[in-house]
Amino acid sequence: MQYKTLGRTALRVSVIGLGTMVHGGHFGPMKDEESLAAIDTALELGVNFIDTSDAYGAGYSETLLGNALKGRRDKVILATKGGNVMVGPNKGKRIFAPEYIDDVLHGSLKRLQTDWIDLYQLHNPDVEVIERGEVWEVLEKRKKEGKIRHYGVSINTMAEGIAAAKGGRAETIQVEYSLLQQEPAEEIFPLAQAANVGIIARLPLKRGILTGKLTQTDEQRFQGEDVRARSFKGEAFAKELAKAEKLRFLVHGPVKTLGQAALAFCVAHPAASIAIPGARNAQQMRENAAAGDVTLPPEDLAKVAELWRSGFAA
């Protein structure tokens, strides 16, 4: 496993981390024993960064993780997020009022059964919150108290990422970045590098498309609360699968799967410290972690860039 420094936090993170949205049931039903096996396997393989949120399973993912890390909290760089309301009358809203974030931050500490959170992230704040939000003062206060060690943002749009990189408050930016979504490398990464802001690549496998294992018939499985039920449908799904097929040339030599190539691509960029794919079970975690020892050759990276700029028409 390779390790990088996460921006100015000085945290040394494994280039492959573990995202736990899947353990909250957002990609279909999960069994706790499989989630726990994925976490155990991650630690065994040198993965030292685990990302969660109070929104994943309305706190269930944090609770599960807190139980899993008993007796070994010091072995993990633990990141969580707050701001997305999952229960009560405000369900579905995003709230970044200082008193709200302070309350949910303490809730996360309790569910995670820890005295400190290594990285606390605002969960998809808009540009106004990033630039002028009073919430930063609360985060700084809790940092001085030792309840959080660093803070950053998880963002949805390029404008939000640009604001975070320029704003000077966020120490890290979590952004969707993958073989299929390379815009951050052009619009956000240069600014982040200049400000020494750490980059965390989320959705590096594009909700499973870049594993190379999905087919058109799989969309029938995406039902109910599965987040893929909203977007992985029909022609749009087929187009993404077709793009993934054009990337299979990356699988050669030490690269055994398209998924490993996708993860290695993310951390090949000098601005990106870590990719945080989910893993449903120990087997998926092993495959993901293997990407931490893979380096894509320059000619493959150049071809990937050409494909993306052409809209995968090449």
Q: Which residues are catalytic?
A: 56
230-234: long-range contacts, CB 8 A cutoff, minimum separation 24: 232/207
Q: What residue type is 269 in one-letter code?
A: H
Q: Give the residue carrying structure tokens 């736990």.
A: 20
Structure tokens at 78: 């633990």
DSSP-derived 3-state class of residue 66? helix
How far are the Cα atoms of 107, 129, 274 from residue 12, in angstroms, in the given order?
Answer: 26, 28, 10
Residues 147, 150, 156, 157, CA torsion sign: positive
Structure tokens at 189: 């990464």
d(Cα 308, Cα 290) in Å, to the nearest integer?
25
d(Cα 207, Cα 214) in Å, to the nearest integer?
10
Helix residue ranges, H only, the chain: 32-44, 60-68, 98-112, 127-132, 135-145, 158-167, 183-187, 189-195, 234-245, 258-268, 282-290, 298-309
